[in-house]
Amino acid sequence: MPPSLVLLSYSLYLGTNYGSQLLLVDLQNNSISEFAQGTGYSKELLLLGNPFCQKMPSSENCIVPQQPNSSYATPTENCVALSCNAQQLLSPNCNCANPITGILHFRSFSFSDFQNGSYYTLLQAAMMESFKSDQLPVDSISLSVPLKDAYDYLEVRLDVFPSGVYVFNRTGFSVITSQLNNVTFVKLPDAFGPFFFILNTDNYFTGSNKSSNTGIVIGAAVGGSVLMLLLLMAGVYAFHQRKKADQATELMNPFASWDQNKANGAAPQIKGVLSFSFEELKKCTNNFSEDNALGSGGYGTVYKGTLPTGVLVAIKRAKQGSLQGSHEFKTEIELLSRVHHKNLVSLLGFCYQLGEQMLVYEYIKNGTLTDCISGKSGFKLSWTKRLGIAIDSARGIAYLHELANPPIIHRDIKSTNILLDDQLIAKVADFGLSKPVDNNEVHVSTGVKGTLGYLDPEYFMSGQLTEKSDVYSFGVVMLELVTGRKPIEHGSYVVREVKTAMGNQRTKDSSNLDAILDPALDPGKPLKGLEKFIDLAIRCVEELAANRPTMNEVVKELENIQQLAGFNGNAEMVSTSKTYSETKEGSFYHDYNKKAFFEYSGTFPHSEIELQK
């Protein structure tokens, strides 16, 4: 069971019923000013960016989370505590010995999780197999401290332990060091690619013949270095040839390295989108500069980019450890590559290289509906345009429900996932949580995911997802369009308060709504079709799914409202040349974050739910 979360009057209280799988509570960049500490929650809680952290900057919940350093090392076989002398190390087989030590350098590795021991287990097994097949006197090897150097090469420390003795003799030392720089010596796992080995020659041979042994070591090192140089030249040539072959293979199958585990499933099946290289997207975003950043969230950052053809694009780059994950990446590629509608954001391509997951979309100039409602975009939305935006969005969702094959439930309809182009045509975006539905299925039983405030209460309680869940979320967006307010903020819930203002009945008298209408709409003037619009929105947010209309019915009713009101669906927006700061002071600016919000007394039962930012 996850903890109960209560957010009232800027205060945060975590209950005491914690599930074992709740490892992280991320509430960064909210308005939490008080936090009841000492509740017993021992996992990670992030409150950075809240007023609480201004008062308590030293709190462990207010510290910027640090990426963990790689700490992998080959495990030992349950060794009894042994004390080795200064020149010796404990081998994985629990023997004190003087190993050959150096660094393995990998130039074209294809993974980024350096703490995933499975990669090094495969590498260790491959190297030991090669030593045994050549009958070299090697007892075991140890791999440790993997990290990336300044050239983005992967470095791994290698210790090679002698078999049956404490130290390698000169012959064994020379043969092993030479073989480690032989590119044909070992067949490495695909994830590592070509490598070269740099020997640590400091004081390997010690004793009465130290000077002689040192000369042998230096001679072996020089000889090995010459051999390494020759092999490196051959390796570079082979690497370039292999790279050309890999590039050709990648063009044919960009998901050849897809990790087909239980969570990710089979590799994505795509249609009609481009595969971009990491370097191409790095170049078109000016090395992912901050100046090109459009926004960020739990998944990562969205950048504005310009392709060599001059086409503007938006590039969503997942960060390491992103909450989106490979499953959502795969879902969005597969769905957007086969659905095409003017009210859905178009996916142009993707990048799946070097551990990166990036999606390339058409660039939508005016940003999110949330920014346009709040005034951040520099213009106000007239009632005419708001009605047009509602119709555009509804048509996109209805297409997913009615015409996509198989039908698709979006599962995260909200104002931040509705984008507006330069003509204020609305396009539905972000399909990471979407679910395809078989034509003969009434509902899909699945874990509850979505955004608090937009969640269908019936889906929340039962875990049964239907197309009516999208209808509920869209009804909340409709109420945002008329009130200019977020669904839930400071304990206020827009659905409850609009219903209260309407007197819990259908009415054509909008006098009760003046207090909650967006001031930018100029409530003093008659707004044709407003009452019917609100009536439709309230039916969309009925608690029982059976009482809600379908999205197709919603589209038809909105079109009727537009026609009866005499609106031109292509009417132009009301614009301004003011900057955002000037807009905020203007008469039409609506503060989307103001405190004059409704009271919200609704409660939610415990459930396994993944909330989106």
Q: Is 244 annotated as a binding residue?
A: no
3-state secondary structure at position 439 = coil
Q: Please tell me the distance from the alpha carbon of residue 213 to that of residue 119, in angstroms, as a whole number.
A: 36
Q: Please tell me the distance from the alpha carbon of residue 584 to that of residue 17, in angstroms, as a whole number.
A: 43
Q: Please tell me the distance from the alpha carbon of residue 519 to that of residue 571, in angstroms, as a whole number.
A: 21
The torsion angles phi and psi of 316, rounded to 5 degrees, stand at: -95, 115
Q: Please tell me the distance from the alpha carbon of residue 349 to that of residue 464, in angstroms, as a whole number.
A: 32
Per the annotation, the verdict on 26 as an active-site residue is no
Q: Within its chain, how far is the Cα of 43 from the centroid? A: 21
Catalytic residue among 159, 371, 392, 412: 412
Do residues 45 and 28 make contact, with C-beta atoms less than 8 angstroms apart?
no
Joined together, the tokens standing for residue 598 give 């409704």
Q: Please tell me the distance from the alpha carbon of residue 547 to that of residue 53, in angstroms, as a whole number.
A: 44
Nearest to 127 by CA among 172, 192, 81: 192
502: number of Cβ within 10 Å: 18
Q: Please tell me the distance from the alpha carbon of residue 606 to that of residue 17, in angstroms, as a whole number.
A: 10
Kindly write down the DSSP assignment for every residue of 461-507, as one continuous string: HH-EE-HHHHHHHHHHHHHHHHH---SEETTEEHHHHHHHHTTTS--
Fill in the amino acid letter for 580: Y
Do residues 158 and 102 make contact, with C-beta atoms less than 8 angstroms apart?
yes
3-state secondary structure at position 561 = helix
Residue 306, H or E segment: strand 300-306
**What is the SS3 assignment for 86-128?**
CCCEECCCCCEEECEEEEEEECCCCCCCCCCHHHHHHHHHHHH
Q: Please tell me the distance from the alpha carbon of residue 109 to that of residue 119, in angstroms, as a whole number.
A: 11
Cβ neighbours for 387, distance < 8 A, ≥ 6 positions apart: 529, 533, 558, 561, 562, 565, 567
Do residues 429 and 461 make contact, with C-beta atoms less than 8 angstroms apart?
no
Query: Which residues are designated catalytic?
Result: 412
Q: Which residues are annotated as a binding site for ATP?
A: 316
